[in-house]
Amino acid sequence: MQFSLGNSYTLVTNATPEEEALLHKWCNKEFEYYGLDFSQRPPRRTKMSSNLPYYKYNKFPSGWTGKFLVQLKAKGIKVAFKDIRTKPKDTPQLMSLLSTTTIPPLRDYQDRAVSKAIQSSRGIIHHATGAGKTVVTAAILRDLGLTSLIIVPTLNLLIQTTEDLKGFLGDDYVGEIGEGVFDPKLFTVATVQSVWSKIKRNDQELSNLFKKIDVLCIDEAHHINVAGKNKIQNTYFKIATMLDCYYKFGLTATPGDPNSLERELLEGATGRVIDQVSSSELIKRGLLTKPVIQMYKITPPQRFSDWQAAYKQNILRNGRRNAQIVRLAEQYAAEDKSVLITVTRVAEHGGMLNDMIEDAVFMSGQTPAEERKEILEDFGNKKIKILISTVVNEGVNIPSMDVIIMAGGGKSNKQTVQRVGRALRKSEGKSKAMIVDFYDADNGMLERHSKARLKTYRKESEFEIKEHIDVN
């Protein structure tokens, strides 16, 4: 059997039927999801399982190549390996670029990540929130000096990343694609939505740009996952594998647990983890603020077997739980602390808490971009003391944030890590970050979700956890 490594896919030739079957098995990624079970009346949401084949037309995503080679060797199967990629040549802009950049001196782990990225040509940079991933990205772009595309998930991140990279690399070298703007340059920042919409329209300008791209950087790369109707490959994965470029990097604080489906798919698109820095390491070095996790135990008035009913009655409409959220938010605000209340259900829970807290400001995905920017600035300056929101998980840099109240529950490791990370940045006069969460003791799904978040907190050795504080 022979593997021919390409930029996006590895071609398999001369494989026996048994070897083909083995690759099929490894590439059929199983997953679980919640869907409607129509065998029940009325139809109810229930956990289901299925799989997606990633071995098609005798090829598989190239990020799995190294892992498969190891697995095949362990089974005594010999594989001839050939790298058919062509390393891009330096661009004419490189020398002038190197003389104009203003990237600050790299920390040791940032320098290490940049060196590994350039040496490996692909891979995941797993750095905690606050580690300075934008600086790492800028340094990679500077050192390579090649035509690059930086994919971001939101408009907020498009604006922020473009501004940051312009500051590091210069206005003349940084362009953007998004919100009706198509202004590519040597380094182009683009929202995934804008790129995908142009792909669907067979946009010729984008097609011409894609042919020039040598470097792909995916910010918040954990968005590469199974999603959408019939659990098809989502747009991040499609774009990552569609771009036939030599260098591919994913940057994220939450790549997923090893051997999880989300990690598998991320590795397939961009390669394996090549560098890692945890929140605890950065806290030990004095680069992040140490968090104190307070878990308030709430015993719901009633247990429900149905998830929707449990969430509605024991979280959304739980008077004792909501009163505790309001009390704590107002208490911290009175101490001149900035308080972020994160909710899952925008209109219902966010609106309800906003009505209960006199001086709170409510911001949702429907809030206009300019208004959202103004709100975040006022919150960062502490003109707004209490902010209720669902949209500050990624790309929000507010070092002065003192307290986060996790009002919405949920079990997502990614969301928990992303939210906690918002409060860990250092600022003047800030000695610790307060994370308020709730242990919903209903002996059902809500309690399992509470345990999942608690498990996430316990993974970090520098997190101080005060759990199960009973609320009367």
Question: For 286-301, what is each residue's pLDDT tens digit?
Answer: 999 999 999 999 988 7
pLDDT band at 414 (very low <50, low <70, confident <90, very high): confident
Contact 283, 426 (CB under 8 A): no
Number of C-beta neighbours around residue 452 at 10 A: 14
State the average pLDDT for the chain: 88
In this structure, what DSSP letter does residue 225 have?
A: S
Angle, helix 235-242 to helix 261-270, in steps of 10 degrees: 20
Using DSSP's 3-state secondary structure scheme, residue 34 falls into: strand
Contact 395, 223 (CB under 8 A): no
* Cα distance between residue 65 and residue 71, in whole Å: 10
According to the model, what pLDDT value does residue 100 have?
75
Does residue 383 carry a pLDDT above 70? yes
Q: Do domains 94-277 and 286-470 have the same CATH topology?
A: yes
The phi and psi torsions of 193 (rounded to 5 degrees) equal: -65, -45
Closest CA to 66 of 267, 265, 260, 221: 267
* Cα distance between residue 144 and residue 54, in whole Å: 31
pLDDT band at 47 (very low <50, low <70, confident <90, very high): low
> Over the stretch 73-112, which tens digit does the pLDDT of each residue have?
999 999 999 999 999 987 766 766 776 789 999 999 999 9
Strands 2-5 and 59-61: unpaired
According to the model, what pLDDT value does residue 471 have?
63
Sign of CA dihedral 332, 336, 338, 343: positive
pLDDT, mean of residues 351-378: 87
Q: How many CA atoms lie within 13 A of 12 on its CB side?
A: 26
Closest CA to 419 of 432, 440, 434, 431: 434
pLDDT band at 161 (very low <50, low <70, confident <90, very high): very high
What topology does CATH give the domain 2-83? Translation Initiation Factor Eif1 (3.30.780)
The amino acid sitting at 289 is: T
Does residue 442 carry a pLDDT above 90? no
Q: Range with the lowest mean pLDDT among 330-344, 363-377, 436-450?
A: 363-377
Mean pLDDT comparison of 3-7, 35-39, 54-58, 318-322, highest-scoring range: 3-7
pLDDT band at 391 (very low <50, low <70, confident <90, very high): low
> Over the stretch 208-255, which tens digit does the pLDDT of each residue have?
999 999 999 999 998 887 655 445 557 889 999 999 999 999 999 999
Does residue 39 carry a pLDDT above 70? no
Contact 138, 169 (CB under 8 A): yes
Contact 358, 329 (CB under 8 A): no
pLDDT band at 397 (very low <50, low <70, confident <90, very high): confident
How many residues appear in the chain?
A: 472
**What ranges do the domains of the chain cover?**
2-83, 94-277, 286-470
According to the model, what pLDDT value does residue 245 have?
96
According to the model, what pLDDT value does residue 305 have?
75
* Cα distance between residue 302 and residue 260, in whole Å: 34
The residues, any chain, with a CB within 8 Å of residue 147's CB and separated by 6 or more, are: 91, 186, 187, 212, 213, 214, 215
Residue with tokens 């009505």, as numbered in its chain: 355
pTM > 0.75: yes or no:
yes
Cα distances (angstroms) measured from residue 199 to each of 209, 229, 340, 347: 12, 18, 37, 33
pLDDT, mean of residues 365-390: 86
> Over the stretch 119-145, which tens digit does the pLDDT of each residue have?
999 999 999 999 999 999 999 999 999
pLDDT, mean of residues 28-51: 65
Q: Does the domain made of 286-470 have the CATH classification 3.40.50.300?
A: yes
For the domain 94-277, what is the CATH code? Answer: 3.40.50.300
Residue 411 vs residue 252, higher pLDDT: 252
According to the model, what pLDDT value does residue 229 have?
47
> Over the stretch 316-362, which tens digit does the pLDDT of each residue have?
999 999 999 999 999 999 999 999 999 987 778 998 999 999 889 99
